[in-house]
Structures are given as C-alpha cells and as structure tokens.
Amino acid sequence: MHQVPNASPTAASASSEMYGSAVLDACKQMKARMEPIASKHTFACKCMLHVANRPLCTWNFFIKPDIGFDWGTGNGNPFSYFTIGVAFSKVEIDTLTGDFNRRRADVIMDLGFSINPAIDVGQIEGAFVQGLGWFALEELKWGDAAHKWVPAGCLYSCGPGSYKISSVNDVPFNFNVSLLKGAPNDKAIHSSKGIPEPPICLASSVIFAIKD
C-alpha cells in the first residue's frame, strides 16, 4: 500500500471530484496502452499482456483546470461550477411558548448527473438538519454584560458540548428531497456535482418561515 504525505482529506467531495478524476484518467491511459495488443488477441491472450512488455500499472494526478483567484485584486474564478438548490419549509408555532415544529420541508438540488443518488440524498438530508440547528437551535453566548462568566470577547458556545445540536426530533415530519433531472455538469467526473456543504444554507427557509 502506498502512502502519500501531506495529502488532502476526503472532504468537500474531494474523493469524487479530485481522486475520481485522477483514477478515471489513469484508466484511460491504461486502456490506450493495452488496446494495440488486446484488439488482436482473444480474452485468454489478453491476460498475458505482460509478455508483450506492456506495463500493467500506472499513476496519475489531477488538478482542477481553469480556476484561480487573486485575493489582492479580487479577480479570478475560485470555483469551477456552482451547486444550486431550493428549499420550502412549513412550520407550526406555539404562540404561548414560542416553540415550533417543523411540519414539512421540500428540497430540490441541481447535482448534474448524480453518481450515487442514495448517498447524495442522505448528504442533503443531513446537511439540512445540521443547518436547521445552526439557524434555529444553536445559541451563541459571548463574553459580554449578559455573560460575565465568559472572558470578554470570547465565544463560549463553540462546540456541541456547549449548545443544543439537532436530534431526530428536529427532522421535519414530512421531509422530501429530489434531484433536478437533465442538468449535466461538464466540469466534473461523469457530469456530477459535489454536495457536502451547500444544503446547509437551505435550512434558512425554516427561520424565514418562523419569522413570517
């Protein structure tokens, strides 16, 4: 097993976006190398490609093309594409206590041609519920006159041990997630799109529904 020092984490869809593209290009290189020999022989002979002095391994790396940003001038393209989504939320408010229930949430996301819809829908559901906690449940406690026991200017509620995180009871009762069809993305592997963080912001529909 090979280990790469200082490698980036498998976060923010890096596995599909970066590593998947590198693997795909490596497979294309391997296929092109094998094709001149493989096209002239039966399957049994193809298993003997090493006799024809053709290496049966390859390596590759992938760098996102056409992206870059100059923070000094504000010019450039920091992203190769955008992930777009829409959410509708319906809430029920207890006018005596101020508590609320999440009756329904409908989310639709443009993910190009999803590689694995089940995983993508799960990512959307999880991110939405996480965002719901961010917008509607988590209380920021700073060191100020109301919280004198917190050092001035410091944020006390900076982790799940000091604020209320979302639980299964916070999931909308009627939760519908769908993926936009017929919207390919030519800037990622198999016309897909990354989906880790964008749905978090869609949970703002809950707080807007409460305000309305």
Instruction: For residues 172 and 42, give the distance between their C-alpha atoms in angstroms, rounded to a whole number.
Output: 57
Structure tokens at 138: 């988590």
Cα 155 from Cα 142, distance rounded (Å): 5
Pairing state between β 174-179 and 100-110:
parallel
Q: Which residue in 17, 35, 92, 197 is the catalytic one?
A: 197
Q: Return d(Cα 165, Cα 184) in angstroms, integer.
A: 35
To the query of whether residue 197 is one of the catalytic residues in this protein, the response is yes
| Distance in angstroms (rounded) separating the CA atoms of residues 178 and 183 | 13
Active site residues: 197
